[in-house]
Structure 1
Amino acid sequence: MPETTAELSPLQRAQALYDLRRAREPFFGQNADLFGEPAWDILLDLYIAQERGIDTCVSDACIGACVPSSTGIRWLAILEERGLIERESDRFDARRRSVRLTRRAREVLTAYLLSC
């Protein structure tokens, strides 16, 4: 186990940030929605999944951000418009759409994670 944050990989840093965001929810209960950042949660969740080689569908992205589907889908559209994510049809199930970070978004997130 790494001793300092300098020893953490970008994946470990992303997971730690994501876990810290989820850890506060039980403490704030009904007020946890005050701290919502669906776009950031989606980006972190997609980064973690991609680094682990896991495909993410639209519904999984919404679950990972801990938001209702309507909110998650709206934020996915915004992230796609801004060139941070891309969607494609699932090869095995035409009803599903996969979501992933663009190369540029992955590079930016990696740079950010290495800086903190």
Structure 2
Amino acid sequence: MSNEAAIGLVNELATRLSGIVEEFGRRTDSLVAASRETDGPDEETLIRIAGRLIDQRKRRRNFLPDELFHEPAWDMLLSLFVAYRRRQTLNIKSLVSTADAPVTTSQRWIEHLDKLGLITRVIDPADRRRIEVSLNETGHAAMTRYLEDVARRQ
């Protein structure tokens, strides 16, 4: 093959490749635009759903006996999700109060949530007697997926 033929072949391949790149770009742009239209609910919607679930869980105790509703871990996960999205932290005392369960039971559930890898506990640098609790990335991702699913079904 002569140099001229090789150069011609390279130019032809470059032109074809350029067309493929342009087509890929158009398809990618179209997929990105479609994904923006079908993205999940916004942050405020997820916070509102979590808040509504917390409120519903508290209100049912007005109508039915308390002993029917002992899910302190779930109460804490919902509260931690709202705090995470609002960029707040909860200390153990405030988290325990959201669980509507005895302190020792709530503390056992905090320990269990930590062992499951859903939360992070950090000693408060300003007051070393306090421990701050927050969802970690794993816990936040799981709660987000759940709340997005709730939003889609509404």
Normalising by structure 2, what TM-score?
0.67
Q: Specify the code of the residue in structure 1 equivalent to 2:144.
A: T
Choose from 85, 99, 102 the match for 1:51. Answer: 85
CA RMSD of aligned residues (A): 1.4
Gapped regions of structure 1 (runs ≥ 5): 1-5
| SS at structure 2 position matched to 1:9 | helix
1:9 maps onto 2:49 in alignment: no
| SS at structure 2 position matched to 1:47 | helix
**Runs of 4+ in structure 1 over 6 Å off:** none
Give me the whole-angstrom Cα distance separating, in 2, the residues matched to 1:54 and 1:23: 25
Higher Cα Rg, which structure: 2
Q: CA deviation at 1:54?
A: 1.8
Which moves more between the two structures, 77-86 or 50-59?
50-59
Render the CA deviation track for 1:45-91: whole Å, top value 9, x for unaligned: 11111112221001111101111110110000000000011100001
1:24 maps onto 2:45 in alignment: no
Q: Specify the code of the residue in structure 2 equivalent to 1:91.
A: P
Gapped regions of structure 2 (runs ≥ 5): 1-40
1:63 maps onto 2:81 in alignment: no
Give me the whole-angstrom Cα distance separating, in 2, the residues matched to 1:74 and 1:22: 21
